[in-house]
Amino acid sequence: MNRKLTTLAAALLLTAPTLTSMAQTTGNPFLQPYDTKYEIPPYEKIKTSDFIPAIKAGTEELKANIERITANKAMPDFDNTILPLENVSPILERVASVFYHYDSALSTDEFAAMAEEAIPLLNAASNELNLNQALFDRIRTVYDNRDKMKLNPLQKRLVEKYYRQFAEQGAALSPEKKAELVKVNNELAKLFIAYNKNLLNATNSFFVTVYDKADLAGLPESSIAQAAEDAKARGLDGLWVFTLHAPSRLPVLQNAENRGLREAIYKGYTNLASYGENSNYPVIEKIVKLRAEKAKIMGFDNFAQMMTSRVMAKTPEAAESLLMQVFEPAVARSHEEVADMQAYVDAEGGGFKIAPWDYYYYAGKVKKQKFDLDESDVRPYFSLENVLNGLFGAAERLYGIKMVEMPDAPKYMDEVTVYDVVDAKTGEHISVFMTDFFPRASKRQGAWMEQLQSAGLYGDGTTKRPIVYNVGNFTRPAGDTPALLTIDEVETTFHEFGHALQGMLSTAPYKSLAGTNVDRDYVEMSSQMNEHFAFTPELLKTYAKHYKTGETIPDELIEKLNKASKFNQGFTTTELAGAALLDLAWGKTDGNGIDVEGFEADFTKKIGMPDEITYRYRSPYFKHIFGDDGYASGYYTYLWSQVLEADAWELFEKNGIFDKKTAESYKKNILQSGDTEDAMVLFERFRGHKPDPHALLRLRGFEK
């Protein structure tokens, strides 16, 4: 998921009349509350030229309202200091939520050019809020006296969260240190822009052209059709073009019999943004040095120490300890997987040693051999429409919500679908949910969830419900064939919807405590938990229908899917845990005298990464950690959260996956609660005990 706006947390309690007047004269849609149903952004009215004026107006609004808070002569308390911070600039909240969404999903050339000016302005606005000494003094006063004030538990938690977040952003620093921090933050903001621009350009500029149809042997017809369409779009009629976008790349790696084609795509991807004018190596070097400098300013030994201190792990060593408990058995299992694949190659008289570009392909062959399961056997049952039917059906059975399409709702692309999420019994509005599932040149790779509007109390005294979206990059429909998802893509769809559920169902009264505004190493629990439902027999039978015949997926195919569920977990876990360890290693170095490419290569040898496996993301395209600070020194949280969800899932398995009592407890304690209580308290209330790390090893098949 994306998490770009946490400390600019909200919108304003007192709106300046001059700004309302400006909105009326300019027609800029960001400068006034949206007049659409549920306040969905009026996309058809939004122009690229609206962003900069709105950010500037929002910054002025922010300054004016900070001044109102700090000029108040009354003793600082919850109502005159903390509550206004929940709504400190509605203009900035509106424009920033759309801006960051477009920056990932609709970054046209015009938008990207504008973003280079916008991001420093947004960064400056963040500094204006987070580093204001007078404001922090008032927050600290409320914090110091919180036990003497008549605060309810949620108000007290909100006070503590604001104090902690402001301190973490540098509010407690001396004026000199604050000036240094602002300088570093501004430089980092520029580098993030450069990194993301290089990555997008490198991704869009690379493609492999196939001239002989014989070289397409093994590929599914849908992939061949898409490659033909991509070639035609480039003026290469009659040829086939493959790109680095997942719907094009993965079918080649998984299915292409031509080893040279697999190698070309694999090397193109793993060398992404590693050379030429789009190389991210120089950018990474500067980011690492600046992060080390930032950590020193904040009083930490290194960046990893600073980032882990803010979440459940507390130290990089604790995070590394967990990772190594998983990484080592995963590597051992991967060696077994490679041996199986090598035996297959040798039996076929291949005459070569398994290489990284062979892994997906021969894993599929061994899977077929061991379980008589081929991706092409199941993919026809996973049309996107059917998968969404299963996804929404499960949510209705488990949590009592219904998805009602809103065909006339505003949308930024025709292929976006908007839903009104309602209570299945009463019809009461719960949330707005949007989906955007197909790749385009202006969209970054991957899949994510974010929200355009948070649940909680707003400045006009109303409590609003969230607007949440899921974005993906799945294979487009081609000809008469609908969008057919791979097994991984089905999991991804359920994963991101798990995030969406936590955002949509939140009942927290304050925005900063609502939805996914929880610790980084807890936020992935709900998403990974939701993956488990995808392939349960009970649910599969409701949605997995053959797109041609309408036939329900047969029992024998379901049995094969479940028997194969722990297959290739050595590879999957090794590439993930390896990337997480690499991320922490970057956070522990000061970057001085470092050779970026050599650093990664040396670390690969140090941890014993198998030759046949590459990190899930190599440094030049590891956008999670170098595209912004979102998951920097925090990528490990995916595995940390998997310990929680693996243990939680065992309770569903024990009681029945649609057990009403279990689902109600999960909804109440996990999905609805947000950050209203400590994550460990909420987990223990649901599960009945502290998380068991061995649950993850059992889930992955590394122990029984």
Which residues belong to the active site? Answer: 496
Label each residue of 99-147 as H, E or C.
HHHHHHHCCCHHHHHHHHHHHHHHHHHHHHHHCCHHHHHHHHHHHHCCC
Task: Report residue 3 CA to chain centroid gap.
Answer: 7
Sign of CA dihedral 544, 547, 550, 551: negative
Cβ atoms of 639 and 324 within 8 Å: the answer is no
Neighbours of 286 (CB within 10 A): 17
- Judged on CB neighbours under 10 Å (0-12, 13-18, 19+), 440 is middle
User: Which residues does residue 340 pair with via DSSP β-bridges, in sequence order?
Assistant: none
Torsion of CA 108, 413, 472, 239, to 10 degrees: -70
Task: DSSP letter for 554, please.
Answer: P
Task: DSSP letter for 668, please.
Answer: I
Cβ atoms of 70 and 414 within 8 Å: the answer is no
The tokens describing 344, both together, are 């297959």
The 401-405 sheet, strands edge to edge: 401-405, 417-423, 429-436, 467-471, 448-453
DSSP-derived pairing of the beta strands 463-464 and 429-436: unpaired
Sign of CA dihedral 507, 511, 512, 518: positive
Contacts of 614 (CB under 8 A, 6+ apart): 270, 356, 575
Helix axes 596-607, 569-588, angle to 10 degrees: 130
Cβ atoms of 657 and 536 within 8 Å: the answer is yes
What's the angle, vertex CA 672, arms to CA 519 and CA 542, rounded to 5? 110
Residue with tokens 């962003």: 51
Cβ atoms of 454 and 513 within 8 Å: the answer is no
Neighbours of 64 (CB within 10 A): 16
Closest CA to 92 of 116, 128, 67: 128
The tokens describing 385, both together, are 């429409």
Cβ atoms of 329 and 702 within 8 Å: the answer is yes
Neighbours of 294 (CB within 10 A): 21
d(CA 231, CA 484): 21
Please report, as a single letter, which amino acid is at residue 568.
N
Cβ atoms of 375 and 481 within 8 Å: the answer is no
d(CA 59, CA 120): 12
- Would you list the DSSP string of 434-497? EEE-S--TTS-SS-EEEEEE-SEE-TTS-EE--EEEEE--PPPPBTTB--B--HHHHHHHHHHH
Helix (H) / strand (E) element for 377: namely helix 375-378
